[in-house]
Amino acid sequence: MKRNWTKAAVVVALAAGVTSAIAADYGDLGKLEYESSCILCHGKDLKGGPTAKFFLKAMPPDLTQLSSKNAGVFPYERVYGVIDGRQDVASHGTREMPIWGKAYQFKGSECNADPYASEAYARGRISALVDYVHRMQTR
């Protein structure tokens, strides 16, 4: 019995080490997604990119103020839904922001023919991005 616990502890330690090594190689996935998909419109500081005024009808929101504009609570579901964009809300009018859910799902399907895997890929990328925006909130 003790040998099984020792083996389990070794496996957990190795898995933690591998996960840490992967994270060190790839860095912050949410930040990487932000820098590759969002920075042009929302800027490096998440407060609105300088180029956005040239090609958008309205300036994008200051993403560092989402919690403060929502009684101090980060609106996770709302941010996730806006990024995902696959579920339209007619009352919100036209949409200038890309529908990243479809883009991520397509990117996931290029790597894997399984539709469930491509959906998991899309959800993982969106969740990482939402987590990054959450961590960047001003207090």
Is 0.85 surpassed by the pTM of this model?
no
Q: Select the highest-mean-pLDDT range: 8-17, 92-101, 110-119.
A: 110-119
Rounded to whole angstroms, how far apart are CA atoms 59 and 55? 9
Q: Which domain holds residue 124?
A: 2-135
**Contact 105/121 with Cβ under 8 angstroms?**
yes
**Domains contained in the chain, number:** 1
Question: In the chain, count of helices (H) and strands (E)?
Answer: 7, 0
Give the number of other CB atoms < 10 A from CB of residue 99.
15
Q: Is the pLDDT of residue 86 over 80?
A: no
Calculate Rg over the CA atoms of the chain.
Answer: 19
Main-chain phi, psi angles of 45, to 5 degrees: -90, 5
Torsion angle of alpha carbons 29, 30, 36, 41, nearest 10°?
-170
Amino acid at 21: A
Q: Is the pLDDT of residue 23 over 80?
A: no
| Mean pLDDT of the 36-40 span | 89
